[in-house]
Amino acid sequence: MNFTGKVLEDASYSLSSTIDIPIEPSTLPSRGFTYPNNIEISYRPYILGELYKISQIPKDTTTALNIRRVDIILSGIFVKGMSKEMLTLADFNYLSVLRQISTLGDDSELTLTWKCPKCGKTHNRTVNLTTQIEFKDLEVKLIEADINSQTLTFTPLTVKGYKTKLALSDKYETDVSVMALQVDTEEPFGNIYNFLYNLSDKEDIEAINEIDRHLYHDVNPVEAVCKTKECGHTSLIPFKNIREYITSKSVSDGADKSKIRLIK
């Protein structure tokens, strides 16, 4: 799923637009599988103040600032029929990009820094948000699995779960905590975390990896070619946290010069 077609057309609003832009839940990466019937979802363009607030938060930062970034982006997303924090994290990421496109236009770009696994050289890769970013669609609503003699139900990670993960990041191993937060249970988080963390059976571990693969519906890896002449290796760059690349820098790029008068 990428941002071409109807979604892009609907997103073509100016920076001054205050119109909420509706989006059909079935067109999101989750395809609305995990949501109640008849919910309504919409978003609005970023305002300048939001862009500058977000740009001041580094990609690698504290838990509190990471949660603040999520809350700033979430403030321009509107959901009727359920809490907006019950959006899947991938849908939230998708909507965060639509907010940027609706503000800055369909030529919005981001720059990825990546290290070639073959020669070790570091390069930048510029990606167009509209034409070169694609999300994987969710395949299932939930997954039941028999793990270590226990039947567990797994559902996609939500915004609420992601914020919990951030708050717990200093105490728990990240990948295991994400999987634990996707277990639909009344059990305390710590119990589920310890249960998964201590799995040792090969088949159970393989099952967990397979569950993770089926529940993933976020940004697909982006292809990049090493610019080193003697190398030229092609790699796939994974990046799940696409929302972290939203900055105010793009606001000044490609400005309409007729709007600006330089007086000396």
CA distance 220 to 243: 14
Q: Residue 81 carries which side chain, given as an amino acid letter? A: G
Closest CA to 130 of 154, 156, 104: 104
Closest CA to 89 of 176, 181, 23, 194: 181
CA distance 172 to 193: 8
Reduce the DSSP state of residue 77 to 3 states and report it.
Answer: strand
pTM listed for this prediction: 0.82
Q: Are strands 122-128 and 143-147 parallel, antiparallel or unpaired?
A: unpaired
Written as tens digits, the pLDDT of the chain (264 aa) is 554 433 444 444 444 445 789 999 999 999 999 999 999 999 999 888 888 888 888 777 778 888 898 999 999 999 999 999 999 999 999 999 898 888 877 777 778 888 899 999 999 888 887 888 888 889 888 999 999 999 999 999 999 999 998 888 778 888 899 999 999 999 999 999 999 999 999 999 999 999 998 998 888 888 889 999 899 999 888 766 666 665 544 444 555 666 666 676
Reduce the DSSP state of residue 126 to 3 states and report it.
Answer: strand
Task: Work out the end-to-end distance of the chain between its first and last CA atoms, rounded to an integer number of angstroms.
Answer: 49
Helices H, strands E: what count in the chain? Answer: 9, 9
CA distance 98 to 120: 34
Stated as kind and residue range, the H or E segment containing 59 is none
Q: Are strands 150-154 and 40-43 parallel, antiparallel or unpaired?
A: unpaired
**Close Cβ partners of 234 (under 8 Å, ≥ 6 residues apart):** 223, 224, 225, 226
